[in-house]
Amino acid sequence: MSAETLPIEIQRENMVREQIEKRGIKDARVLEAMRRIPRHEFVADDAKNWAYSDSPLSIGDGQTISQPFIVAAMTELLHLQGHEHVLEIGTGSGYQTAILCELALQVYSVERIPKLARNSETRLAEMGYANIQLMVGDGTLGWPDHAPYDAIIVTAAAPQVPQALLDQLKPGGRLVIPIGPRFSQVLRVWQRLEDRFECHDSIGVMFVPLIGKQGWPSPF
């Protein structure tokens, strides 16, 4: 029996054990959230057989649902405890959003593509998530109305960190963002201290571009 024909629950458990735990993700809350959330509900019907594969998948409009390990790694870097207000830039399919909803008190998510935002809002509501607000807009500018945030996660790559996002980070808060040229980036973690920012690089990644006033000017 191939991996794609195993029962969904077994595929999801195998995803967590083989793709995520064995690569060093240790946060028990992140692992449990990824065991609970049905990734196959966030992909197109013709991609459901590969929903738990070790790869990103297209969700249309030039966007993707990230590889499961990358979702776990970025989430773990936020150090969420359950009391946080989190800003997500790039709602996409809503899968990362659902993970955040499981782990934080309140999630705010900005998506620049209206169709993706509508689909994700409907999907998340149907799944019972009430601690999420979505907005269509330029994610490079953040969402100042609800700032400051305990954590900010960006699911698209920027040439440099948008200053607007740093400005909306609470002291002690963490920002995780892919930084670099179009086809090769590094996950960079920023932490705001009382009088300065500190940052360090994590793993190499490849994300779609972050489009906006403080990001890339166009998708191409």
Q: How many CB atoms lie within 10 A of CB 1?
A: 7
pTM: 0.95
Task: Pick the closest to residue 68 from 102, 101, 30 (CA basis).
Answer: 30
Greatest CA separation found in the chain?
57
Q: Could you tell me if residue 20 is inside a domain? A: yes
Average pLDDT over residues 17-26: 96
Catalytic residue among 2, 55, 66, 120: 66
Give the tens place of pLDDT for each residue, 69-110: 999 999 999 999 999 999 999 999 999 999 999 999 999 999
Q: How confident is the model at residue 219 (pLDDT cuts 50, 70, 90)?
A: confident
Task: Pick the closest to residue 112 from 133, 95, 91, 94 (CA basis).
Answer: 91
Higher pLDDT, 46 or 201: 201
Q: 166: number of CA atoms within 13 Å, CB side? A: 17
Q: Which domain holds residue 176?
A: 3-205
**Is 218 labeled as catalytic in the residue annotation?**
no
Q: Could you tell me if residue 133 is inside a domain? A: yes
Residue 1 has pLDDT above 50, yes or no: no
Q: Could you tell me if residue 220 is inside a domain? A: no
Instruction: Decide if 117 contacts 134 (C-beta within 8 A).
Output: yes
Q: Could you tell me if residue 215 is inside a domain? A: no
Q: How confident is the model at residue 55 (pLDDT cuts 50, 70, 90)?
A: very high
Count of domains for the chain: 1
Q: Could you tell me if residue 18 is inside a domain? A: yes
Give the tens place of pLDDT for each residue, 109-150: 999 999 999 999 999 999 999 999 999 999 999 999 999 999
Which spans in 104-211 are helix H? 114-126, 163-167
Q: Could you tell me if residue 212 is inside a domain? A: no
What CATH number does the domain containing 181 carry? 3.40.50.150
Instruction: Decide if 59 contacts 120 (C-beta within 8 A).
Output: no
Q: Could you tell me if residue 109 is inside a domain? A: yes
Q: Could you tell me if residue 210 is inside a domain? A: no
